[in-house]
Amino acid sequence: MASPRKLSSLLQAAALFLAMLLHGCNAQLSTRFYDSSCSNLTSVVTNVIRQAQNSDPRIHASLIRLHFHDCFVDGCDASLLLDTSGSIQTEKDAAPNQNSVRGFDVVDDIKTAVENFCPGIVSCADILALAAQISVSEAGGPSYTVPLGRRDGTTANPSGANNALPSPFEGLTSIQSKFSAVGLDDTDLVALSGAHTIGRAQCFTFSGRLYNFSGTGSPDPTLDTNYGDTLRQSCPQSGGGSTLNDLDPTTRDAFDNNYFTNLQSNRGLLQSDQELFSTSGASTVSIVNSFANSQSTFFQSFGNSMINMGNISPLTGSNGQIRSDCRRVNAS
């Protein structure tokens, strides 16, 4: 007969196995999650995004970025959408977000439209994932099928936002660590950075490259001279820090692979963009080249990597809640 000690360790192993099994099941998102509970979801969200895009050509970019800034902080749980109230301290005021992330009013409009069709069914975290996927496709990018079934968190984490989100002034190795901390590899980093094929950036996010790069007294040597001239006109050394500039100076609102050909000609806007190509010996260089050479290779990888990013620690099953207002946790 087994000794009590052996029996108890056997039971522990069984419990652990069961917990892992349950966790694994819970973590499973599905592309058909709302097929029966909200079959109109995609068309409802698409309609609101098309409306918004009529008056705001930048909205696709802004919605894609919201999903990224949500997922990197405690997983894709719509924590980014919570306003300050009660015990909640909003992530919107964290350094990477303040006066920078935008599109929250459009997310509210999407939520209202979705609640009209399917009350209490669709999470704000899934709205962000779906709005990002639809925005990519509407801007001319790949059509990937986004897994759904996330639930909304009940906490926000501003210091987590400060720590987990990459900075445009950061070195490549440090950015790689932030991606690998959430399970994303070099291919994900390079592919997802390709989202900078659309959208805008304020002068202060790259002006350090224009005049006195790292205290050298000269511009960043990995910045094309003519492109630098153009950017200095837009961003004078004194002031103008919030002026908007195209992240992709060639085709600013079209989702294509020009971001990567730009990098090959030293026309990456942010230091963090250009580093992917200009860091000698970096593992990212050959990935940039392969995406520059083939838009379909980029599109395939981008879809895969958006799904990988969307899979970061989702709340599923009976965890979290379906918020009725994306800005607030439900009253208990």
At 315, is the secondary structure helix, strand, or coil?
strand
**DSSP 8-state secondary structure symbol assigned to residue 331:** P
Q: For residue 325, count other CB atoms closer than 10 A to its CB.
A: 16
Would you say 23 is a known binding-site residue?
no
Cα Rg, the chain, nearest whole Å: 22
Query: If contact means CB under 5 to 8 A according to the sort of partner, which of ligand HEM, ligand NAG, none does residue 168 touch?
Result: ligand HEM
Q: Does 272 bind ligand HEM (CB under 6 A)?
A: yes
* Exposure b/e, 73-95, CB count within 10 A at least 16 = b: bbbbbbbbbbeeeeebbbbbebe
Query: If contact means CB under 5 to 8 A according to the sort of partner, which of ligand NAG, ligand HEM, none does residue 272 touch?
Result: ligand HEM
Q: Report the Cα–Cα distance between both ends of the chain, in Å, rounded.
A: 51
Query: If contact means CB under 5 to 8 A according to the sort of partner, which of ligand NAG, ligand HEM, none does residue 81 touch?
Result: none
Nearest distance from C-beta of residue 33 to ligand HEM, angstroms: 22
Q: Does 68 bind ligand HEM (CB under 6 A)?
A: yes
Query: If contact means CB under 5 to 8 A according to the sort of partner, which of ligand HEM, ligand NAG, none does residue 190 touch?
Result: none
Nearest distance from C-beta of residue 149 to ligand NAG, angstroms: 21
Tokens 């895009």 — which residue? 53
Output the DSSP codes for 98-153. TTT---HHHHHHHHHHHHHHSTTTS-HHHHHHHHHHHHHHHTT---PPPPB--BB-
Side-chain-side CA neighbours of residue 252 (13 Å): 12
* Residues belonging to the active site: 69
Q: Which of 44, 101, 114, 184 binds ligand NAG (CB under 6 A)?
A: 44
Q: Which of 4, 24, 86, 217 binds ligand NAG (CB under 6 A)?
A: 217
Q: Which of 41, 139, 192, 329 binds ligand HEM (CB under 6 A)?
A: 192
Site mask, ligand HEM, residues 77-106, x = CB under 6 A? Answer: -----------------------x-x----
Residue number of the CB atom closest to ligand NAG:
215
Residues 286-325 that bind ligand HEM (CB under 6 A): none
